[in-house]
Amino acid sequence: MKRQYRITPEGPPRLTDAEIARYRDPKRLIYNYTKAVQRPKRPLYKDPKAFIFLLLIVLLAYLISEGRLQPDPTPRSAPEQEPPVRTGG
């Protein structure tokens, strides 16, 4: 959205008494402030995007933990060691 600025040497135009009275309602001012600033307090389980994201995290954690608990199906052989070399002495 483009903003239009009006810059004049006289400064900004003065507000009329009716315009000032329109902004004097403190309840409306507080309502507009809370509506503009605060985020909605919707629980995560009712927000579809957040719920799917949390579900994927839990599923990923479960799959990682299951992969670590299963034993390795291939037996590991002991690493081959060369016999120690004897030096004459």
Long-range contacts of 31-34 (CB under 8 A, 24+ apart): none
d(CA 86, CA 84): 6
pTM for this prediction: 0.35
pLDDT at 16 over 60: yes
Is 59 within the bounds of a domain? yes
Is 47 within the bounds of a domain? yes
d(CA 3, CA 49): 33
Predicted confidence (pLDDT) per residue in 36-62, tens digit: 888 777 777 788 888 899 999 999 999
Is 85 within the bounds of a domain? no
Predicted confidence (pLDDT) per residue in 58-81, tens digit: 999 999 888 776 666 666 666 677
Phi, psi (rounded to 5 degrees) for 59: -65, -40
Report how many domains make up the chain.
1
